[in-house]
Structure 1
């Protein structure tokens, strides 16, 4: 018997809270302790200032909501982030301009004689310049992030991991682990599900059916077209698009080298991959920024 079939699959327990901050005291992080300490100091300072004129019981009743709010701010969470960070983000969003335009310079206000509202009163706010993280995409497909470095995109396929033997699964996991250990910069793996439109394949088979050398082949082609139409009508087909983004602060050449290394490492895991050039990178970025894009038209060998 092949020894690979008897090999137990490798398993590793990955904690769900790997990004959880360290607990310093009382099961709380440094940020939580600072919030509670500041609230305690403020309450103590308030009590010191009014101790001679306010009854202690009255002060305790007034301090309870403040202490409860500080505790909620320290330990509360909203949308997966701490409540204080969420409130800061909400305040920043509230104060940020709502109308953004893609310009390279500040937007000049409208002349005083231009009416920007229906009646007297406040004028409409001037649009603010739109500042995107990416400054451009080169011909080689590298994304210029300015001071944050350069990113290369790699398109990868999927692997039928569950159909492999335990030994083959261990080989794939070991190859993937070697690639992760070889990284010297940030990397991100994005898996995006897209709706698939089988119209292209069905029309192609239907057009080629009359030219087949035997009537049985033509009937089989038409039956396959009917199967594709029925499949598209009864099920919502999805195609998984896998993109690997590798970033480097050492310039475009190092980012391109890192992307090429990712392609070679993934090939060792039996994952077909290729570095996206400028046009493909721009198309993939545009598709990822538009979740309501039309369904993907599936073509032969379109594993990207």
Structure 2
């Protein structure tokens, strides 16, 4: 037995605050300092305006909630975002229209004689045009996000991590950590699971069984069909699809380069992967936008495709 066989699985430390803004003073970022400074100046201006008519204790009682709210707004966090950004996003969501329709331009108002039974003035608000983040897709499968840059999609497979020795697990973890540390742009790993229906495979095997050249092969095919039916009845099978999206603001060339680098880095972790071309990227995006679509037919792949 080798020396590495008894090693405990290694843990690689990956910083989770790589996008944290720089601290300028007192452990606070520039945004936090601006919020606190503006609040302090407003309170000071209000005190100088009413100092002759309001008792200091009364002003302190009224200004303390304002100062506390500004402090929470500056240093608080919610769902991984700063509290001020979260509040602004909530306000934008509140003011944005709820009904969106695909349209190239503004939605044409309905005729005046069209009446509704709900909404302000007995009329429902008009739907707004649906604006998707993607502006288009190139033949190479790169997604144009407009001002947000370009995204490339990589289809990745999975690794039987639990079946590896501790030494092999350490190597996989170290390789994956090196890839994460090498990232210099936004990267997202999406794992999507769907129920798998084995009826398609069972029907194909059953239809092909009578044409097999030997009765033993036909018997084996029918036994395999029975096995698939029994497996589908006893277990809930899932079809797992792993997609890595890499984005770059420096143009399509850099996005394609980052996608190719992701494939090479994942290959070092023994993860089969490939860059999706235009047709495959379109199919994968369409599937992600329709979660209720029928599951894909399960099949074994060796090029970084989908797995059961």
TM-score of the superposed pair, with normalisation by structure 1: 0.80
Structure 2, unmatched stretches of 5+, are none
Higher mean Cα deviation, 226-235 or 19-28? 19-28
Quick check: 1:102–1:130 contact (8 Å CA) kept in 2? Answer: yes
Quick check: 1:200–1:299 contact (8 Å CA) kept in 2? Answer: no
1:26–1:293: structure 2 CA closer, same or farther, 3 Å change rule? farther
Quick check: 1:192–1:241 contact (8 Å CA) kept in 2? Answer: yes
Quick check: 2:36–2:74 contact (8 Å CA) kept in 1? Answer: yes
Deviation at 1:287, TM superposition (A): 1.6
- The question of 1:283 aligning with 2:278 is answered no
1:262-301 matched pairs, under 5 angstroms:
262-301=262-301
Q: Which residue of 2 aligns with 1:68?
A: 68
1:27–1:179: structure 2 CA closer, same or farther, 3 Å change rule? closer
Higher mean Cα deviation, 80-89 or 8-17? 8-17
Partner SS for 2:140: coil
How far apart, in 1, do the equivalents of 2:207 and 2:264 lie?
A: 39
1:118–1:104: structure 2 CA closer, same or farther, 3 Å change rule? same
Quick check: 2:99–2:127 contact (8 Å CA) kept in 1? Answer: yes
Higher mean Cα deviation, 43-52 or 178-187? 178-187
1:21-170 matched pairs, under 5 angstroms:
21-23=21-23, 28-111=28-111, 113-118=112-117, 121=121, 123-170=123-170
Quick check: 1:199–1:297 contact (8 Å CA) kept in 2? Answer: no
TM-score of the superposed pair, with normalisation by structure 2: 0.79
Quick check: 1:9–1:167 contact (8 Å CA) kept in 2? Answer: yes
How far apart, in 2, do the equivalents of 1:147 and 1:26 lie?
A: 34
Partner SS for 1:297: coil
Structure 1, unmatched stretches of 5+, are none
1:57–1:223: structure 2 CA closer, same or farther, 3 Å change rule? same
Q: Which residue of 2 aligns with 1:206?
A: 206
Q: Which residue of 2 aligns with 1:242?
A: 242
What's the RMSD between the two structures over aligned residues?
3.4
Quick check: 1:153–1:243 contact (8 Å CA) kept in 2? Answer: yes
Q: List 4+ stretches of structure 1 deviating above 6 A.
A: none
Deviation at 1:161, TM superposition (A): 2.5
Q: How many residues align?
A: 303
Quick check: 2:202–2:225 contact (8 Å CA) kept in 1? Answer: yes
